[in-house]
Amino acid sequence: MMEQQVSSILIRYQADPGSIIAILQDVQEEFSYLPPPALKMISKELALPLSRVLSLATFYKAFSLTPKGKHPVHVCLGTACHVRGAQLVLEKFERDLGLKTGETSADRNFSLDAVRCVGCCGLAPVVMVGEDVHGKVSPAKIAGLINKYKK
Ligand code: FES
């Protein structure tokens, strides 16, 4: 099953080693992380050393080697967000979700990560849940935000 999905991604890019980043992005999108067997398959099919594939997979923050939740929560800790209380927002998410930063819930519904500047500093502090951007987030708003995605 996974093999077929990775295979169709590789076919889409004609197994071009120059498309490695796009291939990794598509695999990440498909599985919400980069499963180790997929990385081995990519390495083999593109004739790239596994160490090269792994170094790209670990270099870019957008990639994850561990499964992420259906609703990945990214709390921005960039400077603008930090000075507006992002650390308190992150700590409240940790308490409310019962997760530490970097973890995924047992039901795979949520994962929690801290990121650096997501490019909307005017809305600081900013939280992204999947593709949704939430600005001016305060600890008081977090329970409601989580409930919205539980439904
Ligand atoms: S610092 Fe958070 S969006 Fe820029």
The side-by-side arrangement of strands in the sheet containing 132-134 is 110-115, 71-76, 127-129, 132-134
Model confidence at 61: pLDDT above 80: no
* 80 CA closest ligand 1 atom index: 1
The reported pLDDT for the residue numbered 67 is 87
> How far away, in angstroms, is 72 Cα from ligand 1 center?
17
Residue 40 included in any domain: yes
Clarify whether residues 143 and 80 are in a common domain. yes
CA distances from 137 to 10, 19, 94 (A): 39, 37, 15
Substitution site in 87, 121, 136, 137 for ligand 1 pocket (most atoms within 8 Å of beta carbon):
121
Residues 135 and 77 both lie in one domain: yes
pTM of the model: 0.75
Give distance in angstroms: CA of 115 to centre of ligand 1. 9
Provide the domain limits for residue 20: 2-59
Report, as an integer, the average pLDDT of 45-58: 95
pLDDT classification of 5: cutoffs 50, 70, 90:
very high
Residue 66 lies in a domain: no
Residue 32: the pLDDT is: 83
Q: Are residues 80 and 142 in the same domain?
A: yes
Q: Are residues 45 and 96 in the same domain?
A: no
Q: Is residue 64 part of a domain?
A: no
Average pLDDT over residues 51-55: 96
Chain centroid, CA 104 distance in Å: 11
Is residue 124 lining ligand 1, measured as CB closer than 6 Å?
Answer: yes
Same domain, 102 and 138: yes
Q: Are residues 135 and 99 in the same domain?
A: yes
Q: Which residues of 102-137 are buried (b: 16+ CB within 10 A; e: fewer)?
A: ebbeeeeebbbbbbeebebbebbbbbbbeeeebeeb
Q: Does 83 lie in the same domain as 137?
A: yes
29 belongs to a structural domain: yes
Q: Is the CB of 133 under 6 A from ligand 1?
A: no
HSE toward the beta carbon, residue 92, CA cutoff 13 A:
17
* Total number of domains constituting the chain: 2
Structural domain includes residue 16? yes
Same domain? For 33 and 93 the reply is no
Atom 3 of ligand 1, residue of closest alpha carbon: 121
CA dihedral of residues 65, 55, 36, 116 (deg, nearest 10): 10
Average pLDDT, integer, range 122-145 = 96
In a domain, 10, yes or no: yes
User: Does residue 65 form part of some domain?
Assistant: no
Buried b (16+ CB within 10 A) or exposed e, 47-58: eeeeeebbebbe
Q: Is residue 9 situated within a structural domain?
A: yes
- What is the C-alpha end-to-end distance of the chain, expressed in Å? 28
- Number of C-beta neighbours around residue 15 at 10 A: 15
* Same domain, yes or no: 44 and 88: no
